[in-house]
Amino acid sequence: MKTALEVAEYFLHKIDRDAGDTISQLRLVKLVYYAQAWSLVFRNQPLFDEEIEAWRHGPVAPSVVNTYKSFRRSSIPAPSSPMPDFSHREQQILEFVHERYGNLGAIQLSDLTHKEDPWKIARQGIGADERSNSIITWEAMRSFYSRESPIGFVPDGQESQLLKLTYALLELPEEKQLELNADSAETMQIVLDKAERQHPDYAPTLAARVKDALASTDRKSVV
């Protein structure tokens, strides 16, 4: 398992300083928070052990705040150390967070977290300007951001359920099911992710969408 500081280093390496982009401590800690939250959604496990606290300006990992406290609103320089090693799945999640939130500034990220349930729940009964180290639980993060899950990402452990639904919709015989390669399976998961949950009674429509998706991929192992 990684540390919050290693996750922070990932985002520090991703900043395009040549293009004029900068990152402050306030912005950095919010990206680290979102990385933890989405790891809980997609991997059902945290990226790091450190607890997230609900401070006045939003969720923080205290170690990141303390390490970069002199850069609260100023630009943090590029790291002198190489990018930490991350697994492929960890990299997918970090890239997702960078693409989803990386264009937002520190104040925008802070305001966004203030509108979301995990921080609000942890701050219940605490004044707006009152200091607190109240913990934002992993379950609160997982529960809230699971409802925001985008098409294209399937939580670990749910792939088989989605594939079973796909097989049923396509009415594929067992021998054809075994021939589906990983790329085709991933395509079907993308198609079915939110559609299956939001429109469970539209089986014919879903079947057509899956067939269209398969038609646009390499079907050498399917036909």
Q: Sheet with 135-136: list strands edge to edge.
A: 58-60, 52-55, 135-136
Q: What is the pLDDT of residues 153-165, one digit of tens each?
A: 555 555 555 555 5
Q: What is the pLDDT of residues 183-199, one digit of tens each?
A: 454 545 544 554 444 54
With contact defined as beta carbons under 8 Å apart, do 212 and 184 qualify?
no
Question: How confident is the model over 107-133, as a mean pLDDT?
Answer: 94
More confident residue, 169 or 69: 69
The predicted pLDDT at position 213 comes to 61
For residue 83, name the pLDDT band (cuts at 50, 70, 90): very high
More confident residue, 177 or 61: 61
With contact defined as beta carbons under 8 Å apart, do 64 and 23 qualify?
no
**Residue 190, exposed/middle/buried by CB under 10 A (0-12, 13-18, 19+)?**
middle
The predicted pLDDT at position 203 comes to 55
What is the DSSP secondary structure assignment for residue 2, as one 8-state letter? Answer: B
The predicted pLDDT at position 164 comes to 54
The predicted pLDDT at position 219 comes to 47
Question: How confident is the model over 116-120, as a mean pLDDT?
Answer: 96
Is the pLDDT reported for residue 76 higher than 80? yes
Residue 15: helix, strand or coil by DSSP? Answer: coil
Q: What is the H or E stretch that residue 220 is in?
A: none
With contact defined as beta carbons under 8 Å apart, do 169 and 207 qualify?
yes
Please give the model's pTM, rounded to 2 decimal places. Answer: 0.70
More confident residue, 199 or 111: 111
Q: What is the pLDDT of residues 20-59, one digit of tens each?
A: 899 999 999 999 999 999 999 988 899 999 999 999 999 9
